[in-house]
Amino acid sequence: MGEHPSPGPAVAACAEAERIEELEPEAEERLPAAPEDHWKVLFEKFDPGSTGYISTGKFRSLLESHSSKLDPHKKEVLLALADSHADGQICYQDFANLMSNKRSNSFRQAILQGNRRLSSKALLEEKGLSLSQRLIRHVAYETLPREIDRKWYYDSYTCCPPPWFMITVTLLEVALFLYNGVLLDQFVLQVTHPQYLKNSLVYHPQLRAQAWRYVTYIFMHAGVEHLGLNVVLQLLVGMPLEMVHGATRIGLIYVAGVVAGSLAVSVADMTAPVVGSSGGVYALVSAHLANIVMNWSGMKCQFKLLRMAVALICMSMEFGRAVWLRFHPSAYPPCPHPSFVAHLGGVAVGITLGVVVLRNYEQRLQDQSLWWIFVTMYTIFVLFAVFWNIFAYTLLDLKLPPPP
């Protein structure tokens, strides 16, 4: 008789609705910057059974409710992901990876194999972009063959950090060349100066035990004509690649090409010194050209056939210059002029390790079987070259030129 009547179902429903409305703005406000555990809380609101999956219908509702907080291209990628799941379910990990700017190989495959083609206009058709946005878009079309990757890069690139690796290496090469030019009072065909090989950065077969020379030779160039072409290729090809793939990956290709170049000379042209950054430059350029050829229909860079022809002509002229110089009468007999074999070592790295890196934008390289095959091949070559340098020179009783 003194009991209060319990609230009816309508009152309870209203109370629940008010509670949800209070929670939703908070979730929406945190969505853009929330860490992964917050994504899980949001995801579990649609997955009360904690199965790790939600239906694509709920997933699309979640996206639509927070569409104002998402980059338009990122929302487009998420919708493509939703439509690519034939079983009608979305995995939490795919959702969290994308919202945290991480993409797994399985995620990419889900999009590429999906039954929905992206319906919005291509990035190239967008108008009203600022100068910096047009530059980022240009870099995307220069280096990436897939529209989905180009849009992802366009949204996520912040220019922080800038392409510091290529810039730093180029500045060091120019500075040391100028310093050496002033020291020798010669800039054109600097390599023909009798005192040129006395520099401690040059790789010399008699001094091959000084391990730093297998890398530091890139800071010495045969002349301004040699330095000029290498610098131009480094900046025109290396910087855009670093902006897209990062300093770690592009630095890895470059340094691997440099080391492969000097080791190749120590094995195939045993009496010759080495100078110049052509090993690293040719690794980057050959990887980029090979990637364009392998993705010809997807690459949308302008005049790609003409530009490839120009690049190949420039590389051939530089290689021809190096071959001519190698067999030209030496300025410091009996030591010959620097070898051209480093160029070939760089090309070998570019069309193996380099291509794998450039074809797997923002993917885990350790998940690629080709990556491990080429890393194994590179490691075997390095070990072989090390043992060759330790034992072969003595066993072959090779007469080396005297140290400079």
- Active-site pick, 85, 245, 288, 343: 343
- For the record, the structure tokens of 149 come out as 């990757």
- Active-site pick, 278, 286, 288, 339: 278
Phi-psi bin for 120: left (phi > 0), alpha (psi -120 to 50), beta? Answer: beta
> Residue 260 carries which side chain, given as an amino acid letter?
A
Determine the distance from the C-alpha atom of residue 31 to the mean position of all C-alpha atoms in its chain, rounded to a whole number: 30
Instruction: Respond yes or no: is residue 67 known to be catalytic.
Output: no
- Residue 53, SS3? strand
- For the record, the structure tokens of 166 come out as 């290529």
Please state, in angstroms and rounded to a whole number, the distance separating the CA atoms of residues 274 and 202: 6
Residue with tokens 């439509």: 83
Rounded to the nearest 5°, which phi and psi values hold at 95? -60, -50
Please state, in angstroms and rounded to a whole number, the distance separating the CA atoms of residues 128 and 133: 9
Question: Helices in 295-362 by DSSP H: which ranges?
Answer: 304-327, 341-349, 355-358
Instruction: Using alpha carbons, select from 288, 353, 308, 247 the residue that is nearest to residue 145.
Output: 288
- Residue 114, SS3? coil
Instruction: Respond yes or no: is residue 4 known to be catalytic.
Output: no
Instruction: Using alpha carbons, select from 340, 238, 361 the residue that is nearest to residue 288.
Output: 238
The DSSP symbol for 337 reads P
Contact 112, 359 (CB under 8 A): no
Helices and strands (H and E) in the chain: how many: 18, 2
Determine the distance from the C-alpha atom of residue 349 to the mean position of all C-alpha atoms in its chain, rounded to a whole number: 14
Which residues are annotated as catalytic?
Answer: 278, 343
